[in-house]
């Protein structure tokens, strides 16, 4: 059973997951095969290479765990956490820990092995967002769990071990440190100003324009003022919504379109960079926070560094976000 351990000094939880040592990436030949394999475990016809599906979109009404799906959610074969069991919160001297209870799922975004997320039509990307929502809605019914982290690793340098386009969901009995910090920081701002800091950011940025990458009626893509790394992007709804799950359909539709546009621009501008994105939304059961505001952070991995930065929480970014935003605004991509 994996363990969740809390750092005794800062509020950071870590999964100590012995079984993940056997993941495909350990063997580099095998890893390369999985990254390139045109008939891999996520391809149609190979449904038995994964555990039974948790969710699938099957417009043709095909049977579960057969081909015919357009999107499929399955348990991660090498889960960082286990679904079964009690939390078993306990101490060991000054240390705190609990059992590594949680869910680890894979969202297979398309049956097509040859397409990246940014190659998909906006309607298919919207479906991926609806799948994220369905899974978050389902997992929040588990009273042991407090947060669902949805993220994507694109490219080997960003941590992807399988090339077929997919994202992941890790549902946790704790709130990840950076989300907890965002919530605390946004609460301080709200206490001081009686306004949501993200709403204020949207207002100031759209008025100023220099860091706006793209905006639609309901959604804005920005290069954050204090970007940690070159070409960092934040996508967020213009109106106040703390919870991704509870956003109106128009926000889902436009978020998909903006994600597609931004990912296509990044691909063209930076020669298909590896990237990570993560959905930051409110914790399970928190659907009416005045101070928090969901958003997506996209971070291209352009440098090897992140070492010193990782150890200090202090970042050096050689590309001003204003330059990145201008570059991305101006680069033309096929729609």
Q: Which residues are catalytic?
A: 166
What is the gyration radius of the CA atoms in the chain, in angstroms? Answer: 20
Other C-beta atoms closer than 10 Å to the C-beta of 77 total 15
The three-class DSSP label of residue 278 is: strand
Q: Is 176 in the site for a copy of itself (CB under 8 A)?
A: yes
Q: Which member of 59, 61, 91, 313 binds a copy of itself (CB under 8 A)?
A: 313
Q: Is 8 in the site for a copy of itself (CB under 8 A)?
A: yes
Six token digits for residue 298? 């996209």
Q: Is 143 in the site for a copy of itself (CB under 8 A)?
A: no
Q: Which is nearer to a copy of itself, 164 or 211 (CB)?
A: 211
Q: Which member of 185, 209, 248, 285 binds a copy of itself (CB under 8 A)?
A: 185
Q: Is 44 in the site for a copy of itself (CB under 8 A)?
A: no
Q: Which is nearer to a copy of itself, 63 or 305 (CB)?
A: 305
Among positions 84-113, residues that touch a copy of itself (CB under 8 A) are: 93-95
Rounded CA gap, 183 and 71, in Å? 32
Q: Which member of 1, 63, 137, 178 binds a copy of itself (CB under 8 A)?
A: 178
Q: Is 209 in the site for a copy of itself (CB under 8 A)?
A: no
φ, ψ of residue 92 to 5 degrees: the values are -145, 90
Q: How far is the CB of 40 from a copy of itself (least distance, A)?
A: 19
Q: Are 319 and 327 in contact (CB under 8 A)?
A: no
Q: Which member of 15, 145, 251, 262 binds a copy of itself (CB under 8 A)?
A: 15
Q: Which member of 111, 163, 273, 321 binds a copy of itself (CB under 8 A)?
A: 321
- Chain centroid, CA 308 distance in Å: 24
Q: Which member of 53, 105, 124, 182 binds a copy of itself (CB under 8 A)?
A: 182
Q: Which is nearer to a copy of itself, 63 or 178 (CB)?
A: 178
φ, ψ of residue 162 to 5 degrees: the values are -125, 130
**What are the angstrom distances between the C-alpha of 61 and each of 41, 67, 138?**
22, 10, 22
Q: How far is the CB of 241 from a copy of itself (least distance, A)?
A: 16
Q: How many residues does this entry show for the chain? A: 335
Other C-beta atoms closer than 10 Å to the C-beta of 162 total 19
Among positions 293-312, residues that touch a copy of itself (CB under 8 A) are: 297, 299, 301, 303-308, 310-312
Q: Which is nearer to a copy of itself, 56 or 242 (CB)?
A: 242
Q: Is 24 in the site for a copy of itself (CB under 8 A)?
A: no
Q: How far is the CB of 89 from a copy of itself (least distance, A)?
A: 15
- As to burial, measured by CB atoms within 10 angstroms (0-12 exposed, 13-18 middle, 19+ buried), residue 101 is buried
Residue 259 CA neighbour count, 13 Å, CB half:
33
Query: What does the buried/exposed string (b/e) look like for 270-292 if buried means 16 or more CB atoms within 10 Å of the residue's CB?
Result: beebbbbbbbbbbbbebeebebb
Six token digits for residue 142? 């588990």
Contacting range for a copy of itself; rule: CB under 8 A; set: 38-46, 127-135, 146-154, 235-243: 146-154
Q: Which member of 98, 197, 222, 270 binds a copy of itself (CB under 8 A)?
A: 197
Q: Is 6 in the site for a copy of itself (CB under 8 A)?
A: yes
Q: How far is the CB of 202 from a copy of itself (least distance, A)?
A: 11
Among positions 234-263, residues that touch a copy of itself (CB under 8 A) are: none
Q: Are 257 and 122 in contact (CB under 8 A)?
A: yes
């Amino acid at each position: 059973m994996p363990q969740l351990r809390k750092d005794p000094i800062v509020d950071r939880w870590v999964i100590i997951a012995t079984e993940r040592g056997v993941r495909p990436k350990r063997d580099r030949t095998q890893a390369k095969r999985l990254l390139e394999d045109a008939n891999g475990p996520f391809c149609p016809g190979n449904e038995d290479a994964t555990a039974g599906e948790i969710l699938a979109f099957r417009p043709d009404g095909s049977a579960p765990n057969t081909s015919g799906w357009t999107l499929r959610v399955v348990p991660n074969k090498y889960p960082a956490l286990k679904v079964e069991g009690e939390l078993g919160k306990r101490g060991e001297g000054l240390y705190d820990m609990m059992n590594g209870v949680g869910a680890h799922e894979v969202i297979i975004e398309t049956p097509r092995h040859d397409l990246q997320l940014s190659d998909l039509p906006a309607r298919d990307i919207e479906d991926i967002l609806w799948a994220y929502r369905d899974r978050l809605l389902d997992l929040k019914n588990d009273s042991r769990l407090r947060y669902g982290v949805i993220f994507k690793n694109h490219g080997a340098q960003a941590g992807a071990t399988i090339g077929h386009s997919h994202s992941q969901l890790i549902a946790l009995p704790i709130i990840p440190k950076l989300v907890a910090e965002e919530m605390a920081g946004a609460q301080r701002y709200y206490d001081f100003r009686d306004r949501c800091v993200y709403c204020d950011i949207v207002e100031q940025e759209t008025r100023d324009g220099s860091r706006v990458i793209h905006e639609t009626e309901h959604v804005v893509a920005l290069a954050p003022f204090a970007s940690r790394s070159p070409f960092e992007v934040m996508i967020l709804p213009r109106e106040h919504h703390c919870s991704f799950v509870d956003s109106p359909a128009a926000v889902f539709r436009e978020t998909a379109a903006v994600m597609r546009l931004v990912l296509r621009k990044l691909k063209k501008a930076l020669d298909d960079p590896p990237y990570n994105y993560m959905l930051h939304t409110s914790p399970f059961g928190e659907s009416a926070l005045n101070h928090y505001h969901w958003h997506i952070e996209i971070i291209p991995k352009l440098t090897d560094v992140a070492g010193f930065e990782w150890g200090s929480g202090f970042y050096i970014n050689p590309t001003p976000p204003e330059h990145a935003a201008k570059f991305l605004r101006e680069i033309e991509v096929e729609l």
